[in-house]
Amino acid sequence: MADRVTPMFGEHSDDVAELVAQYAQLPAGAPVRLAKPTSNLFRFREPSESPGLDVGRFTKVFDIDADAGTAQVQGMATYEQIVDALLPTGHVPKVVPQLKTITLGGAVAGLGIESTSYRNGLPHESVREMEVLTGDGSVVVARPDNEHAELYRGFPNSYGTLGYALRLEIELERVTPFVKLRHVLFATAEECADAITRICADGEFEGQRVDFIDGTVFSPTEHHLTLGSYVDTAPFTSDYTGRQVYYRSLQRRRVDYLTTRDYLWRWDTDWFWCSRAIGVQHPLVRRFWPARHKRSDVYRRIVAWDRRHSVTDRLSVLRGKGLNEPVIQDVEIPVDRLPEFLEFFHREIGITPIWLCPVRLRDETGWSLYPMDPKTLYVNVGFWATVPLHPGEAPGRHNRAIERVVTELDGHKSLYSDSYFEEDEFWRLYNRPAYQRLKDSYDPKGRLPGLYEKCVRER
């Protein structure tokens, strides 16, 4: 097995030149968007009639240097493509977000997370440099130590409003063929939060190394932490890509084994637990649902169609049940405030299951547009469902309550879904001065939308 894959910088340079020319041909004032087949954003919009930038060529993984533990990856490569290219070399990115069609550029311009984040931080923290097509049509290489260092720090959480990542140099992690899982039950949120704190500090539990940690809350009295460890051999392996559903195994098994590939995509097959809303977890439906369509991107297209045509809302009204509010969010809560947040969430929102994923920033300098404290251990809390609206309640009531409590608990909210912040409040949380400097430097004519306009106002 070669330790290095042949570089393809010449082909990449041709891709860049074509894209820059295409960008220059867009009429002044015309909206700019990417023409790509998938999205993991949950800000549903009407399809645009304007042509998008064709970024379909930017999916290559090249110059894999096993000795240095790095790779060059184009920005529109999905994590599925990246993992397929890297696993044969015994490597994966240091953080692999849980859905196959998340792109590397999307995880960096937005925010990705996964069960290695307690030790490896967020995906953008293992990026050594990024090549960016900026709003003014220039292509720059941003690193933490060059003249574009401020862009390097401010690109995460900019959501394509400063530019698009075309190529990134990323750090890799060596892997083994299998992952051993231990599912540990805790009766209270306080016990669960204390265990998260100890495990993340020690990197072990009951004398065994912990390489991965995430959790699932099924009720106020049922909190499962899943602790994963790389292993070279396995006495058996489970398969959750067929009739069995991964998240249901957490309540039945104490120990499990998966191949490393199946571990990385354990949540994608059923979109965590959200495939149940589409009926895919019903035994009869599951039996005949093609395996190739048990994927998060398939489910998202179904949800997008439903949102566009309001089918579920119309059926709900016909049944006399009223409307539902989508509550699809990920928030970061300091670990010592986690019990407070969960108490509020169970009482006021009522969605279960709930995903937990600890994260601590690797880089003490921090990231300007998502100002988490590098000294604080946070827990990402993810919840994705709908909540009934009572007569007279306006859509957004539940999401706005969550935003308020997250801010009160010194937490942070990801912006991939609907947001309801007032503009002044939004900019207090997401660092307007830093953003405005970057906007003035890299998109002075405003070719790309502003961050508030894209993430809140265009809801």
Mean pLDDT in consecutive groups of 10 residues from the start of the chain, 459 residues:
57 93 87 72 58 87 92 97 97 97 96 96 97 96 97 97 97 98 98 98 97 98 98 98 96 97 98 94 94 93 81 67 88 98 98 98 95 97 93 89 98 95 97 98 95 87
In this prediction, residue 79 carries a pLDDT of 98
Note the helical H segments in 69-131: 79-86, 104-109, 117-120
Distance from C-alpha of 411 to C-alpha of 337, rounded to nearest angstrom: 9
9-175+446-457: CATH topology: 3.30.465
Please give the structure tokens belonging to residue 212: 């991965």
Triad 15, 19, 24: Cα angle to 5°:
150
In this prediction, residue 303 carries a pLDDT of 87
| Coil, strand or helix at 15 | helix
Supply φ then ψ for residue 372, to 5 degrees.
-75, 150
In this prediction, residue 1 carries a pLDDT of 37
C-beta separation of 166 from 132 below 8 A: yes
Give residue limits of the domains in the chain. 9-175+446-457
Distance from C-alpha of 329 to C-alpha of 350, rounded to nearest angstrom: 14
In this prediction, residue 246 carries a pLDDT of 98
In this prediction, residue 2 carries a pLDDT of 44
In this prediction, residue 51 carries a pLDDT of 63
Rg (CA), the chain: 22
DSSP 261: H
Question: How far apart, in Å, do the first and last CA atoms of the chain sit?
Answer: 49
